[in-house]
Amino acid sequence: MGSGCDPDSDRRGVFWAAAVRDAISDRIVGWKTSDRCGTDLVLGALEYAVWSRDVGDGQLVRYSDRCSTDTAFGFINRLVDNGIAESTGSVGDCP
């Protein structure tokens, strides 16, 4: 999952994008754009990815480092709702 938020932005002309990349095929399988950066942006990309891949429970693993911005409670609940397993790196794994 890729996304980013810049809290110092003045919001003029800001365009946010979140994407879900399939690590095996190296393809973007879900994405969403918005003029606001928040949990809805990341959830939208996740939902698109789950829908577009038509996968069942236990077929996906989501990897994240501990520096990720997509750790909101709603996002974690959506992973559980879709049967997506979590894999999280140790502190300091992110660049």
Which candidate, 58, 65, 45, places its Cα nearest to that of 3?
45
Instruction: Look at the chain and report how many structural domains it folds into.
Output: 1
Backbone φ/ψ region at 86: left (φ over 0), alpha (ψ -120 to 50), beta: beta
| Predicted confidence (pLDDT) per residue in 37-83, tens digit | 888 888 899 889 888 877 777 777 777 765 555 566 777 788 888 88
The verdict on residue 23 lying in a domain is yes
Which token pair is 89?
């790196």
The verdict on residue 83 lying in a domain is yes
Which token pair is 20?
């879900």
The verdict on residue 29 lying in a domain is yes
Helix pair angle (39-53, 73-81), 10° resolution? 10
Q: How confident is the model at residue 33 (pLDDT cuts 50, 70, 90)?
A: very high
Biggest CA pair distance of the chain: 41
When the pLDDT of each residue in the chain is averaged and rounded to a whole number, the result is: 75
Report d(CA 22, CA 16) in Å as an integer.
20
